[in-house]
């Protein structure tokens, strides 16, 4: 196998997106489109990638980092002109070069590998990846000879009425013999309907030079979807989302109705986990095996261990250990760590806190900036008062402490092991191990108050 290289076209602005974000940076299932492209290209054994950047060059570089080298296209004069910008980095090399657009996020490594393999097997100078579409409007058309050989590609705007009837289109993805490509590119002109230097013109030029030009028709044309506007973006998200969910199902994850579930590209899920409807799993999230993720749960950038049960809750940048239960209607804000078998129940919010094994907080509580030991019981309505209007403070609670309902723990305080906090207490001082802290006005009963009330 000769050396495989790739040129990724990503210099366009994407005017039809109507966005301040450059087109190729729009995310599909959590990853910028161009990153999907680079990943698929890398996985098809390409050794060297050059990305053509122009609009949003700095941002594209930041996203891709050293996954690619870069060539700047200052002015967008067409796809042919774009590829030509890679000449300095690639032109003298021997091997096969894939050209692909940064706005086609659905191509799989399998398809690109097939394209390379067919091109290499035939010893072709150019192989076009084509698709058959019911509605080919807007695409470049594949013009074939009577012997079915590819003659050339005609852009929609340059096509005759007759050519516009052709259903076979150029997906914008090609493999070229590298030197034949750059030799032909030097001869491309901009004498066409759009006044652009078309990459597609190299097909005819390579042919005229005696080169062998082939085509590979895609089995699943949806893979070639080019995202030019928000409608296509939502379509790409839908297709990618289905693909991701299918892969999880094949790997042993159960879904009630996968069409309602959104899982981003880099999320991992263990087998025998059940995902209910309306679940969103985003960013760098990992879910263990045999978990239950209840309806309408949203989990972002979090690590969930095995056998965790989450119902209707929101979890952000947090870690949940094995066997814990969360929800319904709980909110774990960033930097929450729940130990093994912890229970966080209805309307409990946790932030920047660690909660030790077996500790339970069942209802209506705020745990912010606290370190809780193991086996603690936190009564309903407890609040860790962590903020004085200017600064945040931390508190600590020892193992097996019992916090009565509606307590205010005014940070910073330390509550000892097996200490008791009476219901309704406001704790402003440390509580020693095994002590009971009460801080409330003693109850007094006024007799016969009903009569006094009537006489008022
Ligand atoms: C192109 C093809 C067309 C094909 C279609 C498939 C040409 C002339 N036409 O048309 O045959 O059917 O893709 O989607 O190649 N770009 C640059 N610099 C430029 C121009 C474009 O980097 O000067 C980049 C764009 O950012 C984009 C890609 O090249 O990622 C394709 O450009 P676009 O203008 O979308 O081409 P189409 O008109 O869709
Ligand atoms: Ca396009």
Q: How wide is the angle at C-alpha 437 spanned by C-alphas 371 and 369, nearest 5°?
A: 20
Residue 13 has pLDDT above 90, yes or no: no
**Which atom of ligand 1 lies nearest, measured to the CA of 226?**
14
- Which one of the ligands is nearest to 23 CA? 1
pLDDT of residue 60: 97
Backbone angles phi, psi at 34, to 5 degrees: -65, -25
- What's the gap in Å between 169 CA and the centre of ligand 2? 12
- Residue of the CA atom closest to atom 25 of ligand 1: 12
State the average pLDDT for the chain: 97
pLDDT of residue 11: 96
- List residues near ligand 1 (CB under 6 A): 9-12, 52, 73, 76-79, 81-82, 101-103, 139-140, 153, 155, 169-172, 198-200, 226
- What's the gap in Å between 79 CA and the centre of ligand 1? 5
Q: For residues 341 and 339, what is the distance between their CA atoms, to the nearest angstrom?
A: 6
Residue 421 has pLDDT above 80, yes or no: yes
Q: For residues 34 and 133, what is the distance between their CA atoms, to the nearest angstrom?
A: 24
Average pLDDT (220-228) is 93
**Which atom of ligand 1 lies nearest, measured to the CA of 13?**
26
Average pLDDT (165-186) is 97
Q: Mapping DSSP to helix (H, G, I), strand (E, B) and coil, where does residue 247 land?
A: helix
Position 161 confidence tier, pLDDT thresholds 50, 70, 90 = very high
Residue 1 has pLDDT above 80, yes or no: no
- What's the gap in Å between 2 CA and the centre of ligand 2? 29
Position 137 confidence tier, pLDDT thresholds 50, 70, 90 = very high
**Which atom of ligand 1 lies nearest, measured to the CA of 199?**
15
Average pLDDT (397-426) is 98
Q: What are the pLDDT digits (tens) for 77-124?
A: 999 999 999 999 999 999 999 999 999 999 999 999 999 999 999 999
Q: Which domains does the chain have, with CATH numbers?
A: 4-224 (3.90.550.10), 250-437 (2.160.10.10)
pTM of the model: 0.94
Q: What are the pLDDT digits (tens) for 292-326?
A: 999 999 999 999 999 999 999 999 999 999 999 99
- What's the gap in Å between 103 CA and the centre of ligand 2? 7
**For the residues of 344-385, what is the DSSP string, one character each?**
EEEEEEEES-EE-TT-EEEEEEEEESEEE-SS-EE-TT-EEE
Paired residues of 332 in beta bridges: 315, 350
pLDDT of residue 310: 98
Find out whether 30 and 73 touch, Cβ atoms under 8 Å: no
- Which one of the ligands is nearest to 199 CA? 1
What tokens does 290 get? Answer: 């045999």
Average pLDDT (190-194) is 96
**For ligand 1, mutation pick of 79, 141, 171 (most atoms within 8 Å of CB):** 79
Q: Report, as residue numbers or ranges, the catalytic residues.
A: 363
pLDDT of residue 323: 98
């Amino acid at each position: 196998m000769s050396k495989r290289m790739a040129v990724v076209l990503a210099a366009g602005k994407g005017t039809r997106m109507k966005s301040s974000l450059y087109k190729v940076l729009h995310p599909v299932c959590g990853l910028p489109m161009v990153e999907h492209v680079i990943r698929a290209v890398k996985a098809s054994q390409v050794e060297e990638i050059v990305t053509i950047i122009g609009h949003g060059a700095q941002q594209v570089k930041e996203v891709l980092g050293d996954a690619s080298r870069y060539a700047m296209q200052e002015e967008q004069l067409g796809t042919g002109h774009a590829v030509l910008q890679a000449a300095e980095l690639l032109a003298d090399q021997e091997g096969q070069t894939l050209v692909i657009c940064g706005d086609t996020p659905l191509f799989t490594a399998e398809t690109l590998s097939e394209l390379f393999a067919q091109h290499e097997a035939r010893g072709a100078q150019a192989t076009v990846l084509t698709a058959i579409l019911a509605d080919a409007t807007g695409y470049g058309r594949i013009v074939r000879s009577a012997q079915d050989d590819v003659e050339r590609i005609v852009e929609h705007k340059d096509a005759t009425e007759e050519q516009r009837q052709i259903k076979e289109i150029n997906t914008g993805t090609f493999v070229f013999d590298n030197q034949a490509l750059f030799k032909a590119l030097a001869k491309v002109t901009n004498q066409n309907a759009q006044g652009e230097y078309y990459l597609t013109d190299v097909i005819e030029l390579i042919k005229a030079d005696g080169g062998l030009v082939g085509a590979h028709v895609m089995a699943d044309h949806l893979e070639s979807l080019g995202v030019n506007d928000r409608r296509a973006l939502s379509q790409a998200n839908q297709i990618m989302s289905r693909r991701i969910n299918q892969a999880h199902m094949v790997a042993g994850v159960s879904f009630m109705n996968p069409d309602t579930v959104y899982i981003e590209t880099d999320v991992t899920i263990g087998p025998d986990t059940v995902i209910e409807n309306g679940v969103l799993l985003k960013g760098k999230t990992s879910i263990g095996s045999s978990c239950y993720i209840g309806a309408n749960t949203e989990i972002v950038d979090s690590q969930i261990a095995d056998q965790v049960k989450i119902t209707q809750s929101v979890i952000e940048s947090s870690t949940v250990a094995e066997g814990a239960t969360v929800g319904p209607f709980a909110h774990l804000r960033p930097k929450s760590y729940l130990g093994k078998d912890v229970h966080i129940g209805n309307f409990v919010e946790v932030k920047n806190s660690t909660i030790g094994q077996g500790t339970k907080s069942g209802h209506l509580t705020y745990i912010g900036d606290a370190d809780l030991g193991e086996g603690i019981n936190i009564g309903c309505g407890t609040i860790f008062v962590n903020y004085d209007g200017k600064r945040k403070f931390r508190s600590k609670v020892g193992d097996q402490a019992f916090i009565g309902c509606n307590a205010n723990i005014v940070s910073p305080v330390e509550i000892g092991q097996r200490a008791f906090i009476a219901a309704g207490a406001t704790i402003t001082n440390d509580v020693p191990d095994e002590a009971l802290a009460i801080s409330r006005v003693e109850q007094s009963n006024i007799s016969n108050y009903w009569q006094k009330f009537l006489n008022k």
